[in-house]
Amino acid sequence: MNIEELREHLCSRYPLLCPLFSSEFGDGTLTVEPDDLHRAAGDMKELGFSRLDVVTALDRGETFELVYRLESAEIRTGLSLRCSVPRDQPRISSLFDLWPAADWQEREVYDLFGIEFEGHPDLRRILLPDDWVGHLLRKDYVDDRVVKRPDYI
Amino acid sequence: MAVDIESRTPVEDAEGRTVEELVVNIGPSHPSTHGVCRIIAHIDGEIVTRAEPVIGYLHRGIEKMCENRTYLQIVPLTDRLDYVGSMYANWAYCRAVERLASIRVPERAEYIRVITCELQRIASHMMAIGSSGADTGAFTMFVWAFDVRERVVELFEELCGARLTYSYVRPGGVARDLPDGWTDACRAVVDRLPAKIEEMDRLFFGNTIARGRLKGVGVLSADDAVAWGASGPTARGSGVDWDLRRDDPYSVYPRFDFDIPLGDAGDAYDRGRCRLWEAVESCRIITQALDQIEPGPVHAEGFPRLLAPRQGDAYDRIESARGTLGVFVASDGSTRPYRVKFRSPAFCNLALIGRLAPGHTISDLVVILGSLDPVFGEVDR
């Protein structure tokens, strides 16, 4: 199945999701509201996306953009599920119950971005020590110990 | 990173007395952890009841450092992820950047990338099998495997001057063309290898002691492997027939004829043996690539000195020695990436250890960890 076929397939089964689908740079992309994420992910799993490839986030200022990339041996094209959560209330439901692979990946996003995953069984920091202050990959993270890189270019 | 070393569940001993579980701390710096990994093992007698890996001891914040460097300055950072397979991270990162900036790579460069990365697979798998041997007391295997690895590393040294951190694959192509006589040296190494590997298979995987130590240890079912996001030989040892080189072909891989070795039991033995036979398949690919490669440029023409891709993001992945290595690059249109994320196969595979270890002895825990083949530069990033 290529991206176009995936789009048609999605549109026939989930007409509500269809307008949210786009494809750029290779992968299909589906942008949903945070409240719908878990349901949409469940639908995608039913559709045949048996693997959760990667969970990551981007700091977009007022919001954090979450990216979940799904893949499947049958469909053979990737799909990224995206949603934005507000910076002052970064919460989203965990996908651990659908794909256990989310366990460490969500812990990493929690550690580095401070996004809370509701329903995650063991949400603790994973890479940094528990007493670390702040979240490293937020754009407003400052650490006095970091040596400023000279601006050569 | 913090762990619970206090909670001890009462257990009953052989004579019916209530005793406490013993909590054993292994690592973070211990020869059998293959790097800086700490494992908190709760044991009842000698049997592990719970094992919790504690990672992050090698966290250097590479993803954050990437946001502060230009696209080309990031290539040396990717070397420091998986330091026994640097070519893979170089290539995966370059593919993501090339996708984002719509750069076309010359064919010769693609062939060189395939040749070097398949050599890297041999080198990396030899490290994994050799250290599995050392873990189980088969030190001969360690020395033999490192002998093979040395031949490959010598080729890399001739190619780019470095033995571990190559920075050879660059956005747009590769750093320089193959040196004179390199293809003959490469062919000589690759021609001798399959016979050597068959001998290693008999020496180690045919050995009664090694079979006793590896068979039935750390059994991972195919369904669990998919659900937990395992990839590479870790998943293929359980019979999951999934290899990006064949199933989502990239670069010039569709032009080669090769097989994907699969296990069925999903234990440490099958995972190790998959790695060994993958090295033979890599030799087949390299031989075909050396036959097909033609002269030409090795770097994209008109490549800008300072790359500033358009706004957007791209994800690309390759099949590394450990599994699916993906790189997500987001650009805001400037000369530095807005966000770089490395999807590390070692990180995802290591998450399984808490599932595989219970019920086995402490010495088997070491074998299971070795069979997942984690490299902590890549786990911690």
Residues of B in contact with A27 (CB under 8 A): 315
Q: Do B315 and A50 touch (CB under 8 A)?
A: no
CA dihedral B113, B115, B120, B122 (to 10 degrees): 160
Is residue A130 very low, low, confident or very high in pLDDT (cuts 50, 70, 90)? Answer: confident
Asked whether the beta carbons of residue A54 and residue B326 sit closer than 8 angstroms, the reply is yes
Q: Which residues of B touch A127 (CB under 8 A)?
A: 1, 55-56, 59, 380-381
Query: A95 and chain B: CB distance < 8 Å anywhere?
Result: no
Q: Which amino acid is at B381?
A: R
How far is the C-alpha of A69 from the C-alpha of B10, rounded, in Å? 42
**CB contact (8 A) between residue A128 and residue B226:** no
Q: How many whole angstroms separate alpha carbon B177 and alpha carbon B155? A: 14
Give ipTM to 2 decimals: 0.84
* Mean per-residue pLDDT of chain A: 82
Cis peptide before B28 (omega within 30 of 0): yes
Q: Is the pLDDT assigned to residue B10 strictly greater than 80?
A: no
Binned at pLDDT 50, 70 and 90, residue B304 comes out as: confident
% of chain A residues with pLDDT over 70: 86
Residues of A in contact with B56 (CB under 8 A): 126-129
- Report the pLDDT value the prediction gives residue B244, as an integer from 0 to 100: 87
pLDDT of B115 reads 93
pLDDT of residue A152: 65
Q: Say if the Cβ atoms of A25 and B380 lie within 8 Å.
A: no
Token pair, residue A140, equals: 């407003």
pLDDT digit string, tens, across residues B177-224 = 899 889 999 999 999 999 999 998 998 888 888 888 888 888 989 888
Residue A43: its pLDDT value, please? 82
Distance CA B113, CA A117 (A): 39
Both tokens assigned to B381: 């990033």
- pLDDT, tens only, B357-371: 888 898 888 889 888
Nearest to A99 among B61, B227, B338 (CB): B227
Selected for mutation to probe chain B from A104, A128, A132, A152 (highest B CB count within 10 Å) is A104
* B114: pLDDT strictly greater than 90: yes
The distance of B225 to chain A (nearest Cα, Å) reads: 9
Sign of CA dihedral A18, A19, A23, A29: negative
CB-based contact B315 A27, cutoff 8 Å: yes
B351 contacts A127? CB cut-off 8 A = no
Which of A26, A76, A126 lies at the smallest CB-CB distance from B247?
A76
Q: Which domains does chain B have, with CATH numbers?
A: 72-305 (1.10.645.10)
Q: Tell me the residues of chain A between 23 and 62 that have a Cβ less than 8 Å away from chain B.
A: 24-27, 50-54, 56, 58-59
**pLDDT tens digits, residue range B52-96?**
888 888 898 899 888 888 898 899 999 998 888 899 999 999 999
Q: Smallest Cα–Cα separation from B75: which of B57, B58, B61, B87? A: B87
CA distance B30 to B27: 5
- Tracing tokens 């996003």 back to the chain, one arrives at A109
**B335–A125 C-beta distance less than 8 A:** no
- Label the pairing between strands B312-319 and B324-331: antiparallel
Shortest CA gap B260–chain A (Å): 15
Give the number of other CB atoms < 10 A from CB of residue B333: 10
Indicate yes or no: CB of A69 within 8 angstroms of CB of B326: yes
Average pLDDT over residues B285-312: 87
pLDDT at B340: 92
Question: What pLDDT does residue B116 have?
Answer: 93
Q: Give the gap in angstroms from C-alpha A101 to the nearest C-alpha of chain B.
A: 4
Maximum CA pair distance of chain B?
78
Architecture of domain A3-118: 2-Layer Sandwich (3.30)
pLDDT in tens, B259-276: 999 988 889 999 999 999
In this prediction, what percent of chain B has a pLDDT beyond 70? 96
Per-chain mean pLDDT for chain B = 87
Least CB-CB distance to A25: which of B1, B69, B313?
B313
Q: For residue A23, what pLDDT is reported?
A: 64
Q: Report the predicted TM-score, pTM, of the whole model to 2 decimal places.
A: 0.88
A58 vs B317, B326, B330: nearest CB: B330
Q: Give A64 or B14, the one with higher predicted confidence.
A: A64
Asked if A127 lies within 8 A of B227 by C-beta distance, the reply is: no
Distance in angstroms (rounded) separating the CA atoms of residues A1 and B247: 12
Q: What's the pLDDT at A20?
A: 65
